[in-house]
Amino acid sequence: MQWRGRRQSQNIEDRRGMSGGKVAIAGGGIGTIVLVLIVLLLGGDPRALLQNMAQGGGGSAPSQTTQPPGNDDAKQFIAVVLAETEETWTRIFRAAGSEYRPPTLVLFSDAVQSACGYASSAVGPFYCPADSKVYLDTTFFIDLEQRFGAKGDFAAAYVVAHEVGHHVQNLLGVSRQMQKARGQLSELEYNQLSVRAELQADYFAGVFAHHAQQKNLLDAGDIEEAIRCAQAIGDDRLQKQAQGHVVPDSFTHGTSEQRARWFMKGFKSGDLSGGDTFNAPEL
C-alpha cells in the first residue's frame, strides 16, 4: 500500500506503556476469534467463553512490560489507514445525505479499559460501540503473520478497515439492534446473527479497499493479502487448526470462504447498499 507521506488521522489515542493490570474480556471484532482459538488450544469450550462474554463476564491476566508511546512506523501506518477510512466514509455518507463521525483508534499494550469494560491483548482488535472507539495492540499484526500466515501491510489495513466497519454499523444503528437481539435470542440464533454482522464489516472493509484502489494507493498483491487475512481468520479454519474438526453452530464470524467473498463483494461494488448481509438469503 502506498501510504508513506500521506495524511495521518489525528483521531489516535496512544495508551501504549500504560499498566494493564487485571482485565476482563470485552467482546467484538476480529480479535474474538484469536481468543477462542487460545481457549480451544487449552482444551476449553469456546461456546462457554462466548456466552460469558455476552453476559459481560471476564477473566484476569497479569500485567506485562509495555513499550512507551512513540511515532513508530506501525503507528504512522495505522494513522494513514484510519485517515483513508475517514475520507472514504465521509464521502459515502455525504452522498447519502448524512454525516460521518469518525471513531477514535486507541493503541494499547497488554490490556486496556474501554467503555465496554477491560480487555487484554488476547482479544485482539475490537470496536466498542459505547465509546465509538477502535482498540488495537499492534503486536496483533505480528501474531497475524507468524501464527496465521497473513503477511503484508494491506492485511493489517484490512483489520483496521474491518473494525472501522463496525463503527459504520454503529452509526447506521446496527450495533443497537444487535445489542437488543442479544437478550432475545438463543445462543445459536445470536451466533448466526453475529456472523451476519461480521460479514457486513468485511463487506465494508472491501468498500474501503475499492476506494483506496480508485486513489491508486494499492500495490500489486494488496487485495490478495487482504483475502488471505480474511481466510486465515475464518471460524472453520481456526477450529480445524485447533481441534481437527469444525462446529458450525459455534461460528460467530463466518467461514474463510464467506469472509473473503463478502470482502470481495464490497471491493467490487464500492457501494454501501450492497452490504445488507442481514437480509441476504445465503451467506
Q: Which among 77, 62, 84 is positioned nearest to 216, based on CA atoms?
A: 84
pLDDT, mean over the chain: 86
Residues in contact with 180: Cβ distance below 8 Å, sequence separation at least 6, in sequence order: none
Residue 19 pLDDT greater than 60, yes or no: no
Q: What's phi and psi for 279, nearest 5 deg? A: -110, 5
pLDDT for 32 equals 52
* pLDDT interval class at 53 (50, 70, 90): very low
Q: Give the model confidence (pLDDT) of 110-144 as tens digits.
A: 999 999 999 999 888 999 999 999 999 999 999 88
Average pLDDT, stretch 65-88? 83
The count of domains in the chain is 1
Q: How do 111-114 and 133-136 pair as beta strands?
A: unpaired
- Nearest CA-CA partner of 253 in 277, 273, 270, 225: 277
Would residue 276 count as lying in a domain? no
Average pLDDT rounded to a whole number, residues 202-226: 97
Comparing 70 with 88, the larger pLDDT belongs to: 88
Considering the entire predicted model, what is its pTM? 0.83
Provide the residue range defining the domain that includes 91.
12-268
- Whether residue 63 is predicted with pLDDT greater than 80 in this model: the reply is no
Binned at pLDDT 50, 70 and 90, residue 25 comes out as: very low
Would residue 48 count as lying in a domain? Answer: yes
The grid coordinates listed for 175 are: 450495533
- Which of 18-32, 221-235, 256-270 is the least confident region? 18-32
In a domain, 260, yes or no: yes
Q: Which amino acid is at 222?
A: D
Indicate whether 5 belongs to any domain. Answer: no
Whether residue 259 lies inside any domain: the answer is yes
Characterize the bridge pairing of strands 126-128 and 133-136. Answer: antiparallel
pLDDT digit string (tens) for 160-194?
999 999 999 999 999 999 999 998 999 999 999 99
